[in-house]
Structure 1
Amino acid sequence: MDRISNSEILAAIAAELPDWRKLAQPLAARYRTGDAVSGAAFVAAVTQASVAAGHGVPEIRLAPGVVDIGLYGVDAAGARWVTPKDLELARVITGLAREHGLGAAPDEVTQVEIALDTADDTVAGPFWAALLTGDAGNTVHDSAFDPTNRVPCVWFQRTDPHETPRQRWHMDLWLAPESARSRIRAAVAAGGTVVDDSGSPSYTVLADPEGNRVCVCTAVGRD
């Protein structure tokens, strides 16, 4: 697969794809729709353009007032990467949105990953893939993916062996870079604390009032 680097993706966004943002795996966009019919017409146009381009059907979510789109390719092992074909399709979709009179809301794109600390993801991975997706084989490298995206990805964060109890599960909340700081401020105002911001803006670790941790992540500063 002809995958491209994170820095190349961010450069393309800055130069020519202002509607789009890079999340954990996908290149993502959100468009605001006036009504369900206009949203459905846009979805149909995107689907037709995607198939015509040999891309296949992208991840599309039609919801009240919005259409969310995620673009990525899947390699032979099942891993998900942004490719040059995804950038080209993003350009086409941007043009279709303009033709349909839709406005982009790139600051609202969001992805949730569930992260589990484990010393050996080959042991835990098949269990969680089978439980969440129905197929223990839906494990790819350090993650478990549902091919149809019914449930969030589970990412297995490698750690040294350790005794329990300790917090081993946490959420990774992927946001547009321009939204991360305001979301962190809102969480702190609601009783949270910043545990570690040394990795900001790539990731910032927060804790809720009971000490449960979560990472707020962006694509900035990653390879």
Structure 2
Amino acid sequence: MTRLTNPQILEARLGDWRVLLNQLATRFRTGDFETGAEFVAAIAVAADAAGHHPDVTLTYPSVAVNLSTHDEGGVTGKDLDLAREISMLAEQRGLVADPASTQSVEMALDTADASEIADFWSVVLTGSPDNVDDDAVTDPAGRVPPLWFQQCEPHEVPHQRFHLDITLPPEEVGPRTEAALAAGGRIGWETRTFRVLEDRQGNRACLCWSAGRNEGD
């Protein structure tokens, strides 16, 4: 399969779908959880038959679907075919597509040297230094948005006005911290409910845990 360009995807006229960051995305309004669950089951059968599997998110009022061919890094004919099949399954159930409600979020970090800090952020966000590709961190489990590194000139560490909070099971905090330190990080400070980590360039993230929260003084 060959990765398709955006004009080629648009030529397919998939009215239920939108192109977001090298994938097809849509949301179908289901109205209730049981209807959504049955629709997801139907999608699973179609995906297994096609040998191609989307990312599906079931919530109370809707089902969100994202399609891409990962080994091609984008949308291929397999995605177009399965998108048509999923739209047909939705139509059979009277489900309305709401593609305008879709979105995709990335995080970007300004840095003069991505190689110096990429392993740290891969560990902090995914638990492993092995999830860096093309100067971006992508979580294979899909738990966090991708983080990519914006090239900029060297500069002093600014006062951070926003940072990342990563909440973990308590037993994961220690191993994640040790891996971050091994990747060049350092501990800034901590309280009874979070630990501040810094990369080599002073950018910060908080590892958080639930124990100790909302328990009174």
TM-score, normalization by structure 2: 0.69
1:74 matched residue in structure 2: 70
2:22 matched residue in structure 1: 25
Question: Is 1:88 matched up with 2:81?
Answer: yes
Which AA in structure 2 matches 1:62? L
1:168 deviates by 9.6
Query: Which has the larger Rg?
Result: 2
Which AA in structure 2 matches 1:28? A
Question: Is 1:138 matched up with 2:131?
Answer: yes
Which AA in structure 2 matches 1:9? I
Question: Is 1:42 matched up with 2:1?
Answer: no
2:11 matched residue in structure 1: 11
2:100 matched residue in structure 1: 107
1:34 deviates by 2.4
**Aligned residue pairs: how many?**
164
C-alpha separation in 2, matches of 1:34 and 1:168: 38
- Residues 62-118 of structure 1: CA distance to partner in whole angstroms, max 9, x if unpaired? 01101000111112xxx7311221111111111111012110011100111111112
1:2 matched residue in structure 2: 2
C-alpha separation in 2, matches of 1:145 and 1:107: 25
2:58 matched residue in structure 1: 62
- Residues 102-160 of structure 1: CA distance to partner in whole angstroms, max 9, x if unpaired? 10011100111111112232222221111111111111213211112111111212223
SS of the residue 1:139 aligns to: coil
2:207 matched residue in structure 1: none
SS of the residue 2:104 aligns to: strand
C-alpha separation in 1, matches of 2:151 and 2:161: 11
Which AA in structure 2 matches 1:58? P
C-alpha separation in 2, matches of 1:137 and 1:6: 30
1:169 deviates by 7.3
Q: Which runs of 5+ in 2 are unaligned?
A: 164-217
Query: Relative to structure 1, is the Cα distance of residues 30 and 85 closer, same or farther in structure 2, using a 3 angstrom cutoff?
Result: same
Which AA in structure 2 matches 1:42? F
1:6 deviates by 2.3
Contact 2:31 2:60 in 1 (8 A): no
Which AA in structure 1 matches 2:50? A
Which AA in structure 2 matches 1:149? G
With 19-28 and 61-70 compared, the bigger mean Cα shift is at 19-28
Query: Relative to structure 1, is the Cα distance of residues 126 and 98 closer, same or farther in structure 2, using a 3 angstrom cutoff?
Result: same
1:220 matched residue in structure 2: none
1:9 deviates by 2.1
Contact 1:112 1:152 in 2 (8 A): yes
SS of the residue 1:110 aligns to: coil
Residues 110-189 of structure 1: matches in 2 within 5 Å?
110-165=103-158
Identity score, percent: 48
SS of the residue 1:31 aligns to: strand
C-alpha separation in 2, matches of 1:124 and 1:8: 37
Contact 2:110 2:151 in 1 (8 A): yes
C-alpha separation in 2, matches of 1:23 and 1:153: 13
C-alpha separation in 2, matches of 1:80 and 1:130: 23
Higher strand proportion (structure 1 or 2) = 1
C-alpha separation in 1, matches of 2:155 and 2:161: 10
2:177 matched residue in structure 1: none
Contact 1:116 1:169 in 2 (8 A): no
